Amino acid sequence: MIPEAARFAAIFAAVACASVVVAAPTAEWPRFRGPGGLGVAAADARPPVVFGPTNGVAWKAEVPPGNSSPVIAGNRVFLTAAADRKLIMLALDRSSGRESWRREIVPPTIEEVHQSLGSPATATPVTDGSRVYVHFGSFGLIAYDLDGTEAWRVPMKLTQTEYGASSSPILAGGNVVQLLDQDGGSHLVAIDARTGKEAWRVDRAEMRRGFGTPIVWDHDGASDLVVPGTLFLEGLDPRNGEERWRVSGLARITCTSPVVGDGMLFTASWTTGGDHTAEHLVMPDFDEFIAKYDANKDGKFSRDELPEGPAKQRFKHMDGNRNGFVERSEWESMAAIFAKVENQAFAVKPDAKGGLSDAGVAWRIKKGLPYVASPVYYRGRFYMVKNGGMFTCVEPATGKPLYQEERLGAGGDYYSSLLAADGHIYVTSQPGVVSVVKAGDAFEVLARNALGEAVQASPAAVGDTLYLRTATRLYAFRNGALP
């Protein structure tokens, strides 16, 4: 017979546990590019096709500057910002856009970012529905619960690129995984999501600056952490970071993230000088260059010693240890990258054991490539957008373009990654025009929605709502909403 007090205690504990389970928020758009990082909304999502600053606005919120994209869990929308040398974590009420809370950090130093387009708040947060994890290149990783209470923080060294940190954290195997490819000291680190303790770290010395975000790909009975990098796409064991496979064919600087579909892995990347045309960049021989331009004969280059041209323009890229000089090893490492690189998109299939290699590449194509905007696989088709507003649709099995470099009618660069929802592809230009293209084999633009200001972030689609961040606002667009 159970004593009365113990019986009531057991009932109370059971009810409390049940309450916790019921109350746990759902992370409907949990990370950069949503579920799985694939840029595809749920099958029942019905975001609007036609919208704008005075059309279909459910709500709009003024937000501080930043390039991170919104993530959504329960009744919260999360994003980061940076202003007045402060790094800001924001939580907005999902139904109204009102600010629920903000947390600020003032780091000793703000990382260097692109003069006109960059932001110290570019990485998108990730949430597991209980906590939200954020990376700032000027500080490191921080974990908050959904009400803004800090759980832990992991300070990190300042990133070493003049464009700042952009790779977003992801969750894999109970860890927060952060890619930190940079001009020197590139590495991948996994932090235990519960404790903030380092679980594992992988040095990536051969990788230079990169801005793509990994994904987790479950296939053939295993999980691969798929990581973009310089020249190579790698598959790692998410439990310990050990390399399982690699496939060649990425750009020397990869800004995009891979996607998967129908048992295949797809990626596309482009960087200046990687096309095998007259514009292809080749590094001069170090010995010849040093004999001609090493004014003080110390066997290395300062920036002032280099003549105007591609090498001087990429001085910081080569100076990985940031000692103010380009030495032989740094020069020759960069020369080897330029010699091997070839911009392209490709699809690769696993072999019988689930491994990937160059032998499994089904096709490679070299037109219509994106620079920053990650591609999308949707309903049996692979889509990508090239700067200038040129849109391409590829048949995944063969690599045959069903249409190629069709003009969207919205020029400019494209930094926002593609979003697929309800039979449509949302393609957002940096000047702030969202073209909505009908998914399928024939090119058809259904709408061009001008937002009136620049867009660097990627949109999110949950239910009937499209969440989209512009330079100064976060919008929630909904069919039938009044301005």
pLDDT tens string 219-263: 999 999 999 999 999 999 999 999 999 999 999 999 999 999 999
Query: What confidence category does residue 483 fall into, taking pLDDT thresholds of 50, 70 and 90?
Result: low
Separation of alpha carbons 34 and 127, rounded Å = 10
Tokens of 250: 């990425």
User: Is residue 463 classed exposed, middle or buried when 0-12, 13-18 and 19+ CB atoms within 10 A define those classes?
Assistant: middle
Separation of alpha carbons 161 and 112, rounded Å = 7
For 27-271+341-478, the fitting CATH number among 2.70.170.10, 2.130.10.10, 1.10.1740.10, 2.40.30.40 is: 2.130.10.10
Lowest mean pLDDT among 237-241, 323-327, 355-359: 323-327
**How confident is the model over 263-285, as a mean pLDDT?**
85
Tokens of 213: 């975000």
Residue 281 is predicted with a pLDDT of 75
Separation of alpha carbons 63 and 119, rounded Å = 14
Query: What confidence category does residue 312 fall into, taking pLDDT thresholds of 50, 70 and 90?
Result: confident
What are the residue ranges spanned by the domains of the chain? 27-271+341-478, 286-339
Query: What confidence category does residue 300 fall into, taking pLDDT thresholds of 50, 70 and 90?
Result: confident
pLDDT value at 352 more than 50: yes
Collapse the DSSP code of 318 into the 3-class scheme (helix H, G, I; strand E, B; otherwise coil) and give the result.
Answer: helix
pLDDT value at 303 more than 60: yes
Lowest mean pLDDT among 98-112, 143-157, 291-305: 291-305
Under 8 Å between Cβ of 186 and 207: yes
Residue 160 is predicted with a pLDDT of 85
Residue 69 is predicted with a pLDDT of 98
User: Is residue 445 classed exposed, middle or buried when 0-12, 13-18 and 19+ CB atoms within 10 A define those classes?
Assistant: middle
Under 8 Å between Cβ of 160 and 107: no
pLDDT tens string 19-71: 334 445 677 999 999 999 999 999 999 999 999 999 999 999 999 999 999 99
